[in-house]
Amino acid sequence: MPHLPEHLLTGYRNFMSGRYPAESGRYRSLALEGQAPETMIVACCDSRSAPEAIFDAGPGELFVLRNVGNLVPPYEPDGEYHSTSAALEFAVQSLKVKNIVVMGHGRCGGIRAALDTNFAPLSPGDFIGKWMSLIAPAAETVAASTMMTATERQTALERISIRYSIANLRTFPCVSILEGKGKLTLHGAWFDISTGELWVMNKETGDFERPEL
């Protein structure tokens, strides 16, 4: 017997009776012609920050990579398995997206783990510890800012890590070349789970600001 958790089956039934009939033509043509999204989103796995919900995006609109902490590691052509680099390469070279948005969010568990100086490995492999160690230098500096509140430190590191990922995007030759030619634009955004506010990175200053809507 095929089996899925009941909440997923219920959700799928809603999709088929609700959204799908209105979008079936779109799904069909996307199947025939292939996807051609203009925008890649690098987002977190967090269940509260789904890019398609936040950007009210339909099928075919967003190519979405999601990992813990929405991190992009630096370019490392060493022949190892790099899921993030693979998705980036596919989006830029094959789909030729015009925009890459790194979208972080408030109350990120990965960022919290990076800031937690007493963080104990979750399993013998310590995959989260190792993965978040990508931003360890920043995390140590921020963790030492003890006059900021825990929430202020968390928000600061969330935003630093977005800027860090954008900087790493530029270590990929294909990204920096296309950005130099004006064919690819990099963006940062931060979603406040608590209020639904979206804060967008100012490219000149690196600050996060609320766009006029």
195 binds a second copy (CB under 8 A): yes
Site string for a second copy, 53-92 (x = CB under 8 A): xxxxx-xxxxxxxxxx--x-x-x-x-xxxxxxxxxxxxx-
Rounded CA-CA distance 22/16 in Å is 10
25 binds a second copy (CB under 8 A): no
Classify strands 208-209 and 39-44 as parallel, antiparallel or unpaired.
Answer: unpaired
Rounded CA-CA distance 113/189 in Å is 21
Subset of 107-146 contacting a second copy (CB under 8 A): 107, 109-110, 122-128, 130-134, 138, 141-142, 144-145
Out of 22, 104, 106, 116, which residue is the one contacting a second copy (CB under 8 A)? 106
172 binds a second copy (CB under 8 A): yes
Subset of 142-171 contacting a second copy (CB under 8 A): 142, 144-145, 147-152, 156, 159-160, 163-164
Cross-strand bridge partners of residue 58: none
96 binds a second copy (CB under 8 A): no
Rounded CA-CA distance 62/1 in Å is 33
Cross-strand bridge partners of residue 42: 65, 102
Total residues in contact with a second copy, by rule CB under 8 A: 132
Alpha helices, DSSP H, located in 51-144: 51-54, 83-89, 109-115, 127-132, 136-143
Tell me if 44 sits within 8 A of 72, measured CB to CB: no
Q: How far is the CB of 169 from a second copy (least distance, A)?
A: 13
Q: Which of 169/201 has CB closer to a second copy?
A: 201
Out of 93, 116, 136, 180, which residue is the one contacting a second copy (CB under 8 A)? 93
